[in-house]
Amino acid sequence: MNVLTRHFRNLLVVRRQVECVGLSWAVLLLAGGCSGERAGEAGTSESAGVLQAEQDRQRILQALSSGAVGGSDEPSRIRFRELGVDSGIEFVRYDDMRGQRRIMEVNGGGVAIFDAEGDGWLDVFLTNGCVLPMRLDRGETPGKLFRNLHQANLRFADCSEGSGLLQTGFCCGCAAADVDHDGFEDLYLTAVGGNQFWKNNGDGTFTETAKETGTQCGFWGSSAAFGDLDGDGNLDLYVANYLDVNQEEPVLCPEPRAPGGYIGCTPAMFRGVPDVVYLSDGAGGWRELSGAIQASFPGKALGVVICDLGGDSRAEVYVANDGQPNFLLVAESGGESGELRLRDRAVEASAAVNYEGFGQASMGIAAEDFNRDGRTDLFLTHFYRETNTLYVNRSQGDLLLFDDGTRTSLLGQPSLNFLGFGVSGMDADSDGWSDLLVVNGHVDDRTWFDSQQSYRMTAQMFQNRGDGTFRDVSRGAGPYFGQALLGRGVASGDLDRDGLLDAVVSNQLDSAAVLRNESQAAGRALVLKLVGVTSARTPAGVRVRIVGEQPELWRQLCGGGSYQSAQANELYLGGLEDRDYAVEVRWPNGEEQMVEGVQPGRWVIRQGGVVSRTPW
Ligand SMILES: [Ca+2]
Ligand SMILES: [Ca+2]
Ligand SMILES: [Ca+2]
Ligand SMILES: [Ca+2]
C-alpha cells in the first residue's frame, strides 16, 4: 500500500473515530474532499504499492535475521553511564502520592537543559510538584536549578537559593529561550493551577513574571514550547493543556480489590481543556491570542513541538493528544482582523492518527530528520499495548503529508510492552543519524491483576541504522537501561563538552538521572550555538546544513519536543571527519549565511558573520 492509499484509508478510519471526540462535520467534509481527489491516483499506482510492500517485507526479514529486533546482545557503540549523586544532581520529584491515585499525581514532570547564567555551559532545571490542593503548599518541595561547574567529570551545584529561582506549586513542564533578546535564557513552567514565567535577570538571578505578563493561564499545563508563530522575529509561546481537573475535589476511582482501594482514573473520564497561545512583543510583553487555535475539539495535550515541517521556514505546531487525534497546526492570517490563526491540518496530512486509524495516547515527541531526506519526521511515544509511532515526512511543496513508518522502521513491536513518555531524538553515537532515547513507566500500578503489565519500566535506546530501520540496543547501553523506573521527562545536550550528547531524566518516585554519554563515537561532531541578530536571539527554526554531505546532513532548532522538557538550544551534527567543512545557515527571517573552514568542534555562529570556536 503506498503513501496515498494509506492516506485515503486513514481519512476513512479517522472519520469514524473522530465522532467520539466531537470533530465537526465541516472538517470531515474538507478531509473527504481531499481524499476523494487522491483516491484515483492511488488506484493507478497500486502495483508500485505492492512493490514497496515487498521491499518493506524483505527489509524487515533482513533486519530480523541480523538481530535488530528484540534487544539483541550484539554490541553497539552506544553506551551511557549514570552518574548518580556524585554529579551533584540530587533530586527526587514530589507528587503527593497518597494512595488515591489522583490523576494529577501520575504524570510526573520534566527537565530543562539550558544555560542559566550565559557562560556557555549547559545547566539543568527539574520541575517539582507539591502537596495538593496547591493552597496547602508551603514551599517545601521547590524545583531545583543545578549549575554546571565546567568540570571534565561533569559536576553540578544546586544554586536554586542563590538564583532566586524558587519554584513553588505543582509544576509539570518547562520551556527555555531568550524571549526578550538580552542574551540570557528565560524559563517558562507549566503547572496544575497557575504557570510560572521566570525572567533571567542576567546576573545569575531570576524573577517570576507570570502574573505581570498575564501568562499564568490556569489550566493544567503539560508541555510548552517557544517558536515564532506570527513571523515577526519574536518568540511566541504555545502552552499545551491537558485535562479539566478540580484540585479540591478530584475525581477518584475506588476499586476495592486494588491495594489501597483505588485505581487510576483514565483520561477519558475528564474533559480536555484548550491550549493557549501567547504572542510576544520581544521586550517582555505578552498577549493571549484568543481563538488562535482552529481545531474541532479542545484536545488533551501532553506534548508539543514547534518546527518547520513543510520546509518553507514557517513554523508549524505539532501537538500530542492523549487518546485523541493529534494536531498539526498551520499558521495563517485570519479573517478581517488579520490576526494569526493556527488551523489543524493533521487529518489531511495523515498525521492525526496512526496507520490503523487509531488516535493513540500520545505523550512525547521527537522531531528529527531520521531518514536524512531533508524533511523533519515525527516520533511519538504512546501507552502500554500501543506502538510508539513514526510519522515519516513526505511533504512536497505546500502539501503537508506524512506516512506511518512504524512497522517498516521496526520501532513498533519493541514499544508494545512499554508506556513511553519522554523521548530524545539524539545522535547518540555521532554517526550523523538521529537515534532515540525513550523513557518509560506506567501511570497506574496494575500488577495486582495483570502481572504482564509492569508498573516501573526500563528506558530504551534505539540506534538508527541509516537504512530506515532502528535497532534496540538497550541491553548494551549501560546499567541504567536495566533499571525499572517511572520515567517521565528527558532532555539532551552536550553537558560536559566532549562532543557527545548527554541526557537528564526526570523520574517519579526515584532520583532524577544524569546519563553521561560514553559511546564509541563513529564520527566527529559539530556543536553549534546560533545567535540571532535580526532574527530572534534564540533563533528557533534556524536550519544548518553541512554543504555537500549525502544524504543530507542538517539540523533545525525546534521549540519544545520530548515530554514536559526543554532540549538544549544548540545544534548537534555528528558523523564528520577531521577536516574543513562549509556550513550553510538559513536564519528564520530568510537570511542565508555561508561559513567556510569549519572543523568539528564547538562553534558559536552569530547572524551576520561573527564566528568563534571553542575547543572541546
Ligand atoms: Ca551555564
Ligand atoms: Ca512572534
Ligand atoms: Ca525525513
Ligand atoms: Ca546515530
Ligand whose nearest atom lies closest to the CA of 465: 4
| Section 516-533 average pLDDT | 97
C-alpha 185 to ligand 2 mean position (Å): 17
The least confident of 65-79, 165-179, 460-474 is 65-79
- Between the CA of 316 and the centroid of ligand 2 the distance, in Å, is 13
pLDDT at 45 over 50: no
Q: What pLDDT score does 32 carry?
A: 26
Segment holding 16, helix H or strand E: helix 3-18
pLDDT for 14 beyond 90: no
Predicted confidence at residue 311, as pLDDT, reads: 87
**Listed residue (482, 462, 483, 460) closest to 471, CA to CA:** 462
- How close is the Cα of 393 to the center of ligand 3, in Å? 5
User: Separation of 123 CA from ligand 1 center, angstroms?
Assistant: 5
Q: Which ligand is nearest to the CA of 204?
A: 1
**Closest ligand to the CA of 185:** 1
Per-residue confidence band for 338, with pLDDT thresholds at 50, 70 and 90 = confident
User: Ligand 4 centre from 81 Cα, in Å?
Assistant: 17
Q: Which helix or strand (DSSP H or E) is residue 26 part of?
A: helix 25-44
Give the ligand with the smallest distance to the CA of 376.
3
Kindly give the distance from the C-alpha atom of residue 614 to the centroid of ligand 1, in angstroms, as a whole number: 15
3-state secondary structure of 437: strand
Determine the average pLDDT of the residues in 364-378: 98
CA distance 524 to 546: 13
- Phi, psi angle pair for 324, to nearest 5°: -135, 165
> What is the Å distance from ligand 4's center to 434 Cα?
5
CA–centroid distance, 466 to ligand 4, in Å, is 8
* Ligand nearest to the CA of residue 373, numbered in listed order: 3
Neighbouring C-beta atoms of residue 331, cutoff 10 Å: 20
Distance from the CA of 431 to the center of ligand 4, in angstroms?
Answer: 5
Q: What is the mean pLDDT of residues 564-568?
A: 98
Digit-coded pLDDT (tens) for 309-328: 998 889 999 999 999 999 99
CA of 536 to the centre of ligand 2 (A): 9
Question: Closest-lying ligand to the alpha carbon of 368?
Answer: 3
pLDDT band at 69 (very low <50, low <70, confident <90, very high): very low
- pTM comes to 0.90
Distance of CA 412 to CAs 327, 367, 370, 417, Å?
21, 17, 15, 10
Three state DSSP letters for 286-301: EEECCCCEECCCCCCE
Ligand found nearest the CA of 282: 2
Q: Closest-lying ligand to the alpha carbon of 402? A: 3
pLDDT band of residue 615 (cuts 50, 70, 90) is low
The model's pLDDT over 535-550, given as tens digits with 9 standing for 90+, comes to 999 999 999 999 999 9
Q: How far is the CA of 427 from the centre of ligand 3 (A)?
A: 14
Question: Which numbered ligand comes closest to the C-alpha of 556?
Answer: 3
Split at pLDDT 50, 70, 90, the class of 42 is very low
For residue 196, which phi and psi values (nearest 5 degrees)? -130, 145
Ligand nearest to C-alpha 124: 1
What pLDDT does residue 72 have? 56
What is the structure's pLDDT at 611? Answer: 85
Angle at 482 between CA 481 and CA 487, to 5 degrees: 60
CA–centroid distance, residue 203 to ligand 3 (Å): 41
Nearest alpha carbon to residue 463 among 430, 439, 422, 496: 430
Ligand with an atom nearest the CA of residue 157: 1
Of 16-20, 133-137, 431-435, 474-478, which gets the smallest average pLDDT?
16-20
Q: Say how many Å lie between the CA of residue 524 and the centre of ligand 4.
A: 12
Tens of pLDDT, residue by residue over 401-416, are: 999 999 999 999 999 9
Q: What is the mean pLDDT of the chain?
A: 90
pLDDT at position 312 is 87
Q: Is the pLDDT of residue 75 over 80?
A: no
Span from the CA of 123 to the centroid of ligand 4 (angstroms): 24
What pLDDT score does 337 carry? 75
Is pLDDT of 30 > 50? no
Determine the distance separating the centroid of ligand 1 and the alpha carbon of 206, expressed in angstroms: 14
| 1-15, 135-149, 174-188, 286-300: segment of lowest average pLDDT | 1-15
Rounded to the nearest 10 degrees, the angle between the axes of helix 3-18 and helix 25-44 is 160
When mean pLDDT is compared over 51-55, 288-292, 456-460, 609-613, the highest value belongs to 456-460
Q: Report the alpha-carbon distance of residue 393 to residue 402 in Å, rounded.
A: 5
Reported as a single tens digit per residue, the pLDDT across 258-274 is: 999 999 999 999 999 99
Measured from the alpha carbon of residue 315, the closest ligand is 2
With a pLDDT cut of 90, the percent of the chain lying above it is 84
Q: How many residues in the chain?
A: 616
User: Which residues are within 8 A (CB) of 446 and not within 5 positions of it... i.e. 6 or more apart?
Assistant: 263, 453, 455
Out of 26-30, 221-225, 437-441, 491-495, pick the least confident: 26-30
Starting from the CA of residue 231, give the closest ligand.
2
Q: How far apart are CA 505 and CA 233, in angstroms?
A: 32
CA of 2 to the centre of ligand 4 (A): 28
- Predicted confidence at residue 37, as pLDDT, reads 29
497: left (phi over 0), alpha (psi -120 to 50) or beta: left
**For residue 28, what pLDDT is reported?**
29
Q: How many helices (H) and strands (E) does the chain have?
A: 6, 40
* pLDDT the model gives residue 290: 87
Q: Which ligand is nearest to the CA of 125?
A: 1
Give me ligand 4 centre to Cα 113, in Å: 21
